[in-house]
Chain A
Amino acid sequence: DVQLVESGGGLVQPGGSLRLTCVASGFTFSGDWVDWVRQAPGKGLEWVAHINGDGSQKYYGDSVKGRFTISRDNARNSLYLQMDSLRAEDTAVYYCARNRGYFALDIWGQGTMVTISS
Chain B
Amino acid sequence: HSALTQPPSASGSPGQSVTISCTGTSSDVGAYNYVSWYQQHPGRAPKLMIYEVSKRPSGVPDRFSGSKSGNTASLTVSGLQAEDEADYYCTSFGYNRVFGGGTKLTVL
Contact = CB atoms under 8 A, between A and B. Distances in A.
A95 interface: yes
B84 interface: no
A39 B97 CA distance: 15
A104 B52 contact: yes
Given A44-B102, A95-B46, A104-B51, A59 B32 contact: no
A102 B92 CA distance: 8
Interface residues of B, number: 25
Contacts of A47: 91, 97-99
B47 A103 contact: no
Interface residues of A, number: 21
Contacts of B12: none
Nearest to B45: A108
B89 interface: yes
A110 interface: yes
11 contacts: A37-B99, A44-B87, A45-B89, A45-B102, A47-B91, A47-B99, A102-B36, A102-B51, A103-B34, A103-B36, A106-B51
Interface of A: 37, 44-47, 50, 59, 61-62, 95, 97, 100, 102-106, 108-111
